[in-house]
Amino acid sequence: MVEDLCFHLHDLVQNSAAAGANNISVTISDQTAKDIITMTVEDDGKGMDRRTLVKVQDPFFTSKNFKKVGLGIPLLKATAQSCRGDFRISSRVGHGTKVRARLQKSHVDCPPLGDLRETLLSLLVGFDMINIRFTYQSEKGEFALASEEIRGQVGDLHFSHPEIQRFLKGYIHEGLARVLVTLA
Ligand SMILES: Nc1ncnc2c1ncn2[C@@H]1O[C@H](COP(=O)(O)OP(=O)(O)OP(=O)(O)O)[C@@H](O)[C@H]1O
Ligand SMILES: [Mg+2]
């Protein structure tokens, strides 16, 4: 298993989608001067009660009945904590969930960012029916994108349509190229 930050991002968005979210907001804040990278995923899915919230941070809990263990959240928590960062999860039943992981970029255990462009593209295409708001911030500037706005531009076509995928790919590549800073 390749454990880069995009792998975690993908898992968090997948969790939000599985929780029935209609809106998912993803923020990556890459602060070179402060040596911190922060990843936040917030959704309006079904949420979790307090007991579940404690349990999901335990590697042996999952609500997927075909799996014995859920690893996404415990792994991200352990990774964040092992690189002088922190991990927070808050949730309200019927309202949604917010997860935030912060990591010290220069720490030897800090995973690389991974392929953010491809990850974002696959999330937009894979979760076509969900409104995903994505923001990446660095000292170079900000790149933001909302699937709702893109949908308004492409009309009835699905994001999986080859032409739309090509458009999305170009848009993401160009937007991120301006602001992306690679991990130390
Ligand atoms: N955003 C969320 N909203 C509601 N429930 C969530 C959310 N994220 C996680 N959960 C709950 O926490 C459980 C554990 O999540 P985790 O990502 O650790 O494992 P998993 O998704 O079950 O399996 P894996 O990620 O290993 O495929 C999920 O099965 C789900 O019940
Ligand atoms: Mg998961």
Q: CB of 96 closer than 6 A to ligand 1?
A: no
Q: Is residue 25 in contact with ligand 1, taking CB distance under 6 Å?
A: no
**Would you state the torsion angle of the CA atoms of residues 153, 155, 157, 159, taken in this order, to the nearest 10 degrees?**
30
Determine if ligand 1 sits within 6 Å of the CB of residue 75.
no
Atom of ligand 1 nearest to the CA of 74: 18
pLDDT of 77: 94
* 23 CA to centre of ligand 1 in angstroms: 17
pLDDT band at 46 (very low <50, low <70, confident <90, very high): very high
Q: What is the pLDDT of residues 152-181, one digit of tens each?
A: 988 888 999 999 999 999 999 999 999 999
* Per-residue pLDDT at 184 exceeds 50: no
**CA 139 – ligand 1 centroid, Å:** 32
Output the furthest CA–CA distance in the chain (Å, rounded): 46
Query: What value does the mean pLDDT take over residues 76-81?
Result: 94
Q: What is the mean pLDDT of residues 82-89?
A: 96
Cβ 16 under 6 angstroms from ligand 1 = yes
Round the average pLDDT of the chain to a whole number and report it.
92
Ligand 1 binding pocket includes 90 (Cβ within 6 Å): no
Mean pLDDT of 76-105: 96
The angle at the Cα of 154, spanning 179 to 170, to the nearest 5 degrees, equals 30
* pTM, full prediction: 0.94
Which atom of ligand 1 is least distant from the CA of 14? Answer: 21
Predicted local distance difference test score (pLDDT) of residue 146 = 97
H helices of 19-110, where?
50-55, 72-82
Portion of the chain with pLDDT greater than 70, in percent: 94
Ligand 1 centroid vs 42 CA: distance in angstroms? 13
Per-residue pLDDT at 21: 98
Domains of the chain (ranges plus CATH)? 5-179 (3.30.565.10)
Q: What is the pLDDT of residues 96-110, one digit of tens each?
A: 999 999 999 999 999
Q: Is 42 in the pocket of ligand 1 (CB under 6 A)?
A: no
Q: 60 versus 83: which is more confidently predicted?
A: 83
Pairing of strands 36-43, 96-104: antiparallel
